[in-house]
Amino acid sequence: MKNNRRDFIRKTGMAGLGIAGAGLLHGKEGYEFPGSRPKNSKQQFNMSGYAAPAMDKVRVGIIGLGQRGPGAVRRMSKIEGVEIKALCDVRPERAEKAKAGLKGTAHNPDLYSGSAMAWKKVCERDDIDLVYVVTPWDWHTPMCVYAMEHDKHAVSEVPIATTLDECWQLVETSERTKKHCVMMENCCYDFFELLTLNMVRQGYFGEIIHGEGAYLHDLLDLNFDKDGYYDMWRLEENATRNGNLYPTHGLGPVCWAMNINRGDRMEYLNSMSSDDFMMHDHAEELAAEDSFFNMWASKNYRGNMNTTNVKTSKGKTIMIQHDVTSHRPYSRIHLILGTKGIARKWPSPARIATGHEWKTEQEFKELEEQYTPELVQKVGEMAKNIGGHGGMDFIMDWRLIDCLRNGLSLDNDVYDGALWSAISPLSEASVGNRSNSVEVPDFTRGAWKTNDPVDITLRGAGTTKVVE
């Protein structure tokens, strides 16, 4: 299953990139742990703030058409200047269905399928500018690296990497090729998160000293659903790794607000997981009715609840939680605490306070009117109509394309994707060592001290239209 996939990647030539089968504690030659920092290495080129040459047309190839891919196809088809040139999935029927969804549009993509390595042909085309990866986690780094090596910008669903070696591989390849490599963290573009980020930038909360994010989402039934994640790939992750496996949704917006990689950096973390009280029992219940689940009843699953705590170079703190098995309401927490006030999104409704009482509904509306960023003013309502987790997915895609077409730097860069994804393997290391602290790598290699904070203003652009 998961290990077989890694073996397959090695056997099909990707191991030469230093990706497959990399161990967390040992890594490739020249690396050390804790932190797995490259010895005596320097940043080749700073991708933070880098603006690639503007392009009027952004020719896109989309790889992976399972649960998330078709939505990306639909959203991209709605953005001016996008030309969808290729669609790829190992299952031919998925590629064909995604293309059928483009009927009536200007897009007529070529299809690639039938082979686990068909995606390489997408990356190798000379008429594609951007490769959009929407596959199971194990493939994110190999596909992004291969795309950059073939002169393409690469973006990927979360997480963009699963090991520290993969994180460094992405950083080094992006710096060397000067190609964007972005983890598409949609939650950075949700409406309250963008509102509070703009308030942070305006000094409303004072100096930010603590943040909290989470992925608390009851996926127990879906993870065990034979018709859910293709080939049960997400259940494999839960059965082979113990830590915070999905940190980026809650972490990304907090890192933007706290200027992580851009004025501050994570120094070390510790992580603690409960035991498993649910997944093994659920597997046994299913196995009693269906022999397919016998193999899953023999697994040792990760702890149901994980809490990871981070200390930054400037003495600030971040808490990230992960739980996808408990029967509980959905939450990403999104708490921003400053010296003058606090914002918290969950439990809903979202709230803001600058004293001992939360703002009233009317006061909150007044804050929205004053601090809603121009990015949301520009495309927010259109995004809600087009959809994708309430619109944040479309804002994310539109913003990416608008920046590429106008030759602007992107909001997220390869250092963000690497760092936010690295929380998973680092948390595994801490959990496996009685929750002792683990050093966090500095993927910017010192550039965090001078990198500019994320700028969500339109920066004179915002010219890209929405296609009806």
Residues 6+ apart with CB under 8 A from 363: none
Name the band, by pLDDT with cuts 50, 70 and 90, for residue 12. low
- The angle subtended at Cα 81 by Cα 63 and Cα 78, nearest 5°, is 70
Q: Residue 130's closest CA among 403, 444, 455?
A: 403
Task: Name the phi and psi angles at 200, rounded to 5.
Answer: -60, -45
Catalogue all structural domains in the chain, each as residue range(s) with its CATH number.
Answer: 2-184 (3.40.50.720), 188-449 (3.30.360.10)
Q: Cα dihedral angle (455, 452, 307, 285), rounded to 10 degrees?
A: 50
Residue 53 CB coordination number (10 Å): 6
Whether pLDDT at 36 is above 80:
no
Cα–Cα distances in angstroms (integers) from residue 54 to residues 81, 125, 452, in the given order: 12, 20, 21
Q: Amino acid identity of 158? A: V
* Residue 257: burial class (beta carbons within 10 Å; 0-12, 13-18, 19+): buried
Q: Mean pLDDT over residues 274-292, rounded?
A: 98
Task: Name the phi and psi angles at 304, rounded to 5.
Answer: -65, -40
Average model confidence (pLDDT) across the chain: 93
CA distance 272 to 284: 26
Q: How many residues does the chain have?
A: 468
Task: Name the phi and psi angles at 176, rounded to 5.
Answer: -70, -40
Task: Please report the DSSP string for 181-218 in residue order.
Answer: EEE--GGGGSHHHHHHHHHHHTTTT-SEEEEEEEEE--
Task: Please report the DSSP string for 55-92 in residue order.
Answer: -SSEEEEEE--SSSHHHHHHHHHTBTTEEEEEEE-SSH
Fill in the DSSP letter of residue 38: B
Q: Mean pLDDT over residues 54-73, rounded?
A: 97
Contact 183, 189 (CB under 8 A): no
Whether pLDDT at 462 is above 80:
yes
Tens-place pLDDT, residues 223-242? 999 999 999 999 999 999 99
Tens-place pLDDT, residues 189-236? 999 999 999 999 999 999 999 999 999 999 999 999 999 999 999 999
Q: Is 339 helix (H, G, I), strand (E, B) or coil?
A: coil
Tens-place pLDDT, residues 418-460? 999 999 999 999 999 999 999 999 999 999 999 999 999 999 9
3-37 burial, b at 16+ Cβ within 10 Å, e below that, comes to eebbeebeeeebbebbbbebebeebeeebebbbbb
Output the pLDDT for position 19: 34
* Global confidence as pTM: 0.94
Output the pLDDT for position 34: 45
Q: Is 130 helix (H, G, I), strand (E, B) or coil?
A: strand
Output the pLDDT for position 468: 80
* Residue 101: burial class (beta carbons within 10 Å; 0-12, 13-18, 19+): middle
Whether pLDDT at 28 is above 70:
no
Contact 316, 209 (CB under 8 A): yes
266-273 vs 208-216, strand pairing mode: unpaired
| End-to-end Cα separation, the chain, in angstroms | 42
